[in-house]
Amino acid sequence: MRVPVAEFIKSAAAPSDWPPDELPELAFAGRSNVGKSSLINVLVERKGLVKTSSTPGRTRLINFFHADVIVSPGNSGERAALSVVDLPGFGYAKVSKTERSTWRPTIEAYLSQRKSLVAVALLVDARRGAELDERELAPWIASQGVTVVPVMTKADKLAKHERRPAADKVLAALQQRPVIFSAQTGEGREELWKRLLDAVKKGRG
Ligand code: GTP
Ligand code: MG
């Protein structure tokens, strides 16, 4: 999948700051430090487009990007113009209570109000699996007609024989087989694009 255009649009907290919802939008959600920002950089093939950090909880605002994707390579070269959203990480215990209490409403307001949202990639750390937050969030997102694509991140940290059982557990918890992904090796990139673009084609249910 080629991505000829990828650019930062803006950071926003309140709905009044969100850019207009004109393009099909893909959002990336998951626990702090799960690898959301790294994954977006791999998807759009821009190393430093989204800031990543080894300190969990760095992405506190909703970050909006624009990406043009070549959907069918070859003769037609059909493009899709998309909006891409990096959400603040949830569930990080070590930040102050006031900070934590501002994230949840930010994410929930976004997920429930954003009309152009077609799919949420829900990231789960391969070594932690799906915890209560993800188990609750997945059906809630789906109930709004938005496709949920589970992604098992940091797959490079698992031994070969650990991967299948870990993916099976995510499947059991979230009712869908996860894309096995590594930002370090690029594994899973094509499959993830395919599942996200299928959701774009399908539109909102
Ligand atoms: P917040 O913005 O704090 O919520 O974190 P995030 O989910 O955006 O995570 P980020 O992409 O910043 O990555 C967190 C840390 O995990 C960084 O040190 C990354 O280098 C590392 N990381 C991310 N993806 C992978 C991966 O696939 N494999 C490995 N080994 N490390 C990864
Ligand atoms: Mg981040």
Strands 62-72, 78-86: pairing kind: antiparallel
State residue 120 phi and psi, 5-degree precision. Answer: -120, 120
Question: Is residue 37 within 6 Å of ligand 1 at its C-beta?
Answer: yes
Question: Residue 85 is which amino acid?
Answer: V
Asked whether the beta carbons of 39 and 28 are under 8 A apart, the reply is: yes
Q: How far apart are CA 89 and CA 107, in angstroms?
A: 9
- Closest residue to atom 15 of ligand 1, CA basis: 54
Tokens describing residue 94: 């070590």
What tens digit of pLDDT does each residue of 106-122 get?
888 899 999 999 999 99
> What pTM was estimated for this model as a whole?
0.93
- pLDDT, position 64: 96
Question: Is residue 63 within 6 Å of ligand 1 at its C-beta?
Answer: no
Q: Which residue has the tokens 């993830």?
A: 192
Its domain, for residue 65, covers: 2-202
Q: What is the CATH number of the domain that holds 6?
A: 3.40.50.300
What tens digit of pLDDT does each residue of 36-75 get?
999 999 999 998 888 877 665 555 689 999 999 998 767 6
Residue-averaged pLDDT of the chain: 90
From the CA of 54, the nearest ligand is: 1
Domain count, the chain: 1
